[in-house]
């Protein structure tokens, strides 16, 4: 049986904006990805069009401390904001 640490659920491809996944055994965490949509945000003296999506992280707190979960989610957010750094 395959062991996994982080499960990924993407209901965004079905048009769901935001949701909270339930951690499936044997995973300890599930990252839920919502629909990406265009919006206008303030930036450098004006406004810019940006794609926004929701990420929700649910963890089994018997296995992972909330601090490490928050750190992981911040890491994912930074990588998505600057994908050129992945190359």
Place of tokens 């600057």: 82
Catalytic residue among 17, 60, 65, 75: 65
Check if 65 is active-site.
yes
Known catalytic residue at 75: no
Annotated catalytic residue, options 17, 60, 61, 75:
61
User: Given phi > 0 = left and psi -120 to 50 = alpha, else beta, which region is 45?
Assistant: left
CA 63 to CA 69: how far, in whole Å? 11
- Which residues carry out catalysis? 61, 65
């Amino acid at each position: 049986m395959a062991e996994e640490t982080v499960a990924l659920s993407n209901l965004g491809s079905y048009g769901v904006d935001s949701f909270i996944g339930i951690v499936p055994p044997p995973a300890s965490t599930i990252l839920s990805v919502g629909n990406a949509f265009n919006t206008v945000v303030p930036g450098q003296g004006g406004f810019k069009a940006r794609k926004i999506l929701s990420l929700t992280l649910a963890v089994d707190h018997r296995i992972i401390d909330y601090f490490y979960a928050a750190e992981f989610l911040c890491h994912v957010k930074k990588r998505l904001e600057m994908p050129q750094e992945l190359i």
